[in-house]
Chain A
Amino acid sequence: MSQADAPVALDIDQLSVVFDTPDGSLAAVNDFSLAIRRGECVGVVGESGAGKSQSFLAVMGLLAANARVSGQARLGTESLIGRDVAELNRFRGVKLSMIFQDPMTSLTPHMTVGEQIAESIIHHLGSSAEAARARALALLEQVQVTDAPRRLDQYPHELSGGMRQRVMIAIALACDPEVLIADEPTTALDVTIQAQILALLATLKRERGMAMALITHDLGVVAGIADRVAVMYAGRVVELGTVHEVLKAPKHPYTAALLASMPRIDDAGTGPLPAIGGQPPNPRRLPSGCAFGPRCAYADDACRAERPSLIGPSSIEGTRSVACHHPLDGTRHAREST
């Protein structure tokens, strides 16, 4: 990957998120570490509840009030965790932007598209209203919103889902961020629009040299635009590597099982798709040892006794690491493994 020696834009280090609930505490993210370089897109994949979104909401300071965050996340040299809102607001929406899953509800219904884009520009960059509006128009054109001048004065409900997600992206890009976090940006959209939005994100990343975290449960999305991929399970990264490596030759049985459960276009399509047996663990009562152990075909006493740590070069090095006592070594024998 060409970004291998680019400076690290976002460095997340041993991040943990615990929610205090009336029924006790709930560990959503455990020791999450990931470094994203400028111009690089890292896909973060995993099932629902794996802690993908919570990790990055923690970075953004957007978690619910009952969340406790430990560990660190740095944007360049600035640390983000433990700052108060006013300090965070020097970065949020400026150097660090986020787009969300549901474009239907993520825009303010009573403000026009133009107002919502221009707002950040006026607030953070101190532009005049006219300058901000002109920039909002340019952004809308850049994210390929059709009929952009008219859209400026429309309300979100007058736009389609795909258009709204483009507006969300325009808002996120308004102040030229260094890091863009995209939390399932295409999940709520239909397939053709998904492809367009992903292509747009890939283009923007390339043109602007942004670092991008792409949170998704869809390995197809990752294959399309990510450079590296981090696979999460039960709040931890279980496998990290380049997209090519991880998708071609998964080392963690969970990654392998995840890949095996994806429909493939070159498959004859006979028989049901393999599903991963069992259920994701309850974050209140994680199994001892490897969290994936109870669902893993290779699990033995060692797996039940001791949780494997993420072995491999440090996350900043960007090559292969895996948290497994019995990493797979061959290529795609995952189908049999589940």
Chain B
Amino acid sequence: MKVAVVKYNAGNIFSVVHALQRMGVEPLLTDSPEELRSADRVIFPGQGEASSAMHYLRERGLDKVIPSLTQPVLGICIGQQLMCRHSEEGDVDCLGIFDAEVKRFVPLRHEDKVPHMGWNGITAPSPLPLWGSTTSANSIQLFKALPQRGSGEGATPFVYFVHSYYVPVCKHTAAITEYIHPFSAAMHKDNFYATQFHPEKSGAVGQQILRNFLETP
């Protein structure tokens, strides 16, 4: 399987490459439209600032290529945000794959620190179960067969976040996290998947999410 990681000016894309290598996949790091179109899976990672990232993508025509991809695509962190319509960060128009607006966290109480950084739980947008057996038809593809201990409250999967901007809960939301208010921890539309958290830094849970993405039909 050919897995391409979009190369652009967003920091720390090597952590995604390392995570894939730990799973025995040697990804191709590229910003070539042909290479991206011909890959079996495309990962759009990132950490950084939205308007400068969009500027870089436009310069290379990737703002047209990424939304037109037909194979499974996974956006991570700022990757998810750039897949939305518009971001408050730098007041920039983004790729428009998800019909959603990216907003900045505004603290409501002293305890609300920005960025939202650390481990937080993810739950399903009702009525879907977030995880289930690999054969369960109605469980969400990205969250199948997550490692868990027991069931009930203690079995909430935790993943690692670092971000100051968020996507509100909308029709594309595939998982919800509560911080200051509920937001889209993951999104899905057709062949496009995205996570606000970093699966590559989220231990065994994150590795299973990456594996689920690679195994999307």
Does B associate with A? no
